[in-house]
Structure 1
Amino acid sequence: MKGFIQYLQAIKPGKMVLWCYLIWYGVTVFFYFDPSPKIWVNSAGISAVVGTGLLLSVSSGKRDPWQTFRLYLMPFCVSSFAALIKDQGFIVFISPNIHETLVSVLGCFLFLAMVLIVKARRHRA
């Protein structure tokens, strides 16, 4: 738990946005999950191809394992998200169901509030 608190204390805005993306993705997968292997295998394949391209495009020095993980995770999430919301009435990435959109927004809001609380407590100490 101490490591998690330290991570939140040091997190930069760019990574906070990425966490919100992941929260939004998780909520969408929760509401629209499809057990069809085709979606997940295709997404893994796209992730392998695009992730490798992204990995080759970044610095050739020592690689951060989490950066490498993100370079493969993002194309997986994008391709599976697109497959899950196809023909569901989404406007870009916004669900046509206000309840689902509110759950996503609330999840992001709670995460950001947690980060701000942790950072505020650090500055008080």
Structure 2
Amino acid sequence: MKTPKIILWCYLIWYFSMMSIYFEPSLKLWASALGISFIIGFALILSTSQQGIHQDVWIKIRLFLFPFCVSSYSATIKGHDFILLFPNNRTHVLIGILNCTMFVVLIWIIKRLYKFSKKEALNQLAK
């Protein structure tokens, strides 16, 4: 996994970390976020598509997921004393950072194991 995708996954992990703490069960909030997601996501699909170029399904999913996460995040944190995207509560900030860090470490371990197993396989072939 390359660095840009790791960063995108960390964004999603941060989102889920904060939503698990500050979850707002308002049907109106989630319906609005879903509506915004469809409207903006469709506009993003139109603005990024070019004739003859096939867009990967995961790119299309992200184009709908971004506006959903942004709108639901901003509505959920409203009135919770956030500074930009960060809660004023240090423990909650640390939870988000720890979750992202655990993900990055896991990816690093998987990459190392993959490189090691690939190197080991090449050594076996060389014998």
TM-score with structure 1 length normalisation? 0.88
Q: What amino acid is aligned across from residue 23 of structure 1 in structure 2? A: I
Find the counterpart in structure 1 of residue 4 from structure 2: 14
Alignment counterpart, residue 84 of structure 2, candidates 86, 89, 92: 92
Say whether residues 1:43 and 2:33 are aligned partners.
yes
Report how many aligned residue pairs link the two structures. 115
Query: How big is each residue's C-alpha offset from its partner over 1:67-118, in whole Å with a ceiling of 9 and x where there is no partner?
Result: 1111100100000000000111100011111111111000000000001111
Gaps of 5+ in 2: 118-127
TM-score when scaled to structure 2?
0.87
Cα separation, 2, equivalents of 1:111 and 1:55: 29
For 1:123 and 1:59, the matched residues in 2 are separated by 36
Instruction: Report the alpha carbon displacement of residue 124 of structure 1 after superposing the two structures with TM.
Output: 1.9
Structure 1 spans left out of the alignment, 5+ residues: 1-10
Q: What is the CA deviation profile of residues 36-75 of structure 1, one whole-angstrom value per residue up to 9, with x for unaligned ones? A: 1111011011111111111112233212111111110010
Q: Report SS of the residue matched to 1:108.
A: helix
CA distance in 2, matches of 1:15, 1:53: 23
1:1-125 alignment runs, 5 A limit? 11-60=1-50, 61-125=53-117
Runs of 4+ in structure 1 over 3 Å off: none
Percent identity between the aligned chains? Answer: 41
- Which of structures 1 and 2 has the bigger CA Rg? 2
CA RMSD of the aligned region, Å?
Answer: 0.9
CA distance in 2, matches of 1:53, 1:96: 34
SS of equivalent to 1:88: coil
For the residues of structure 2 that align with 1:28 and 1:64, how far apart are their CA atoms? Answer: 29
Cα distance in 1 between the residues matched to 2:113 and 2:23: 38
